[in-house]
Homo-oligomer: A and B are copies of this chain.
Amino acid sequence: MIWERPEPGERRSVRLSRQAVTAAAVALADAEGLEAVSLRRVAAALGTGPMRLYGYLDSKDDLLDLMMDAVCGEIPPPPPGDWREELRAIARDTQRTARRHPWYVTLLGTRQPYGPNGLAYSERLFAAVARLGLPARLTVHAVDAVRAYIAGFLQLELLPGPEAEPGEEKLAYLARSVATGRYPTLAWIIAEFEAVGPDEAFAEGLERVLDGIAAARPGAS
């Protein structure tokens, strides 16, 4: 009888793609942090099993590379402008993007962004600095300074720490540490400290770097 016969099985498997896998992983990391991204969790979010993902990547490390490159791909090219304006725009947009995916800064501690989007990002940094007409060597140094600053600062901003709007516990910790008298300059800074927003801090620090780059131009000293 018809009612006793199993219905034709639905298409068993879910359509996958590398892009879909990556997006699921990014969504999971955004929702619960990087530690929540396991192959099982990603696969479950896609309605399949973990071993299926191995058709699209070789290892979990590959997945992390893909996730990093996806974030790089969200950072837009800068509007055309002079070298400083372009670098400022890149820096700002990197910050915005990293805030949407704070786990990105953790990935910066384990790998370099050399996927296609990561290379495009580098290209833009180099193109902006190349406007200065510096020799290749100095251009590399300048780009290194900018990108290192951006990455380093975003880690300062996005990782929990005493300087980054800590909860009561961390401030109390800092106050106790400073009360030991072992950190006098830090004590002065904290006493004088007016909460500076990370946007301003980031921009000001960047200006220091850009001023330093400007000083490297022939005839600039």
Q: Which one of B114, B137, B162 contacts A114 once the chains associate, using CB atoms below 8 Å?
A: B162
A126 contacts B by Cβ under 8 Å? yes
Q: How far is the CB of A161 from chain B (nearest CB, A)?
A: 3
Contact A189 B140 (CB under 8 A): yes
- Residues 142-167 of A, flagged 1 when their CB comes within 8 A of B and 0 if not, give 10110111111101100111111000
SS class, residues of chain A in contact with chain B: helix
In the bound complex, residues from chain B placing their C-beta under 8 Å from that of A137 are: 192, 194, 196
Contact B212 A216 (CB under 8 A): no
A31 contacts B by Cβ under 8 Å? no
Contact B141 A152 (CB under 8 A): no
Considering only CB atoms and an 8 Å cut-off, how many residues of chain A contact the other chain?
A: 71
In the assembly, what is the distance between CA of A208 and CA of B215, in Å?
8
Contact B147 A152 (CB under 8 A): yes
- Residues 183-197 of A, flagged 1 when their CB comes within 8 A of B and 0 if not, give 111101100111010
Say yes or no: A145-B109 contact (C-beta < 8 A), given A123-B185, A183-B119, A212-B210: no
A127 contacts B by Cβ under 8 Å? yes
In the bound complex, residues from chain B placing their C-beta under 8 Å from that of A122 are: 183, 186
Known A144-B156, A207-B216, A212-B212; 15 more pairs at CB < 8 Å:
A108-B109, A112-B160, A112-B161, A112-B162, A114-B162, A130-B185, A136-B188, A137-B196, A148-B152, A150-B152, A151-B151, A151-B156, A209-B209, A211-B215, A212-B215
8 residue pairs, one from A and one from B, having the closest CB atoms: A109-B109, A148-B152, A212-B212, A112-B161, A152-B152, A136-B192, A208-B212, A211-B212
Residues of A within 8 A of B (CB): 105-112, 114, 116, 119-120, 122-123, 126-127, 130, 135-142, 144-145, 147-153, 155-156, 159-164, 170, 173-174, 177, 182-186, 188-189, 192-194, 196, 201, 204-216
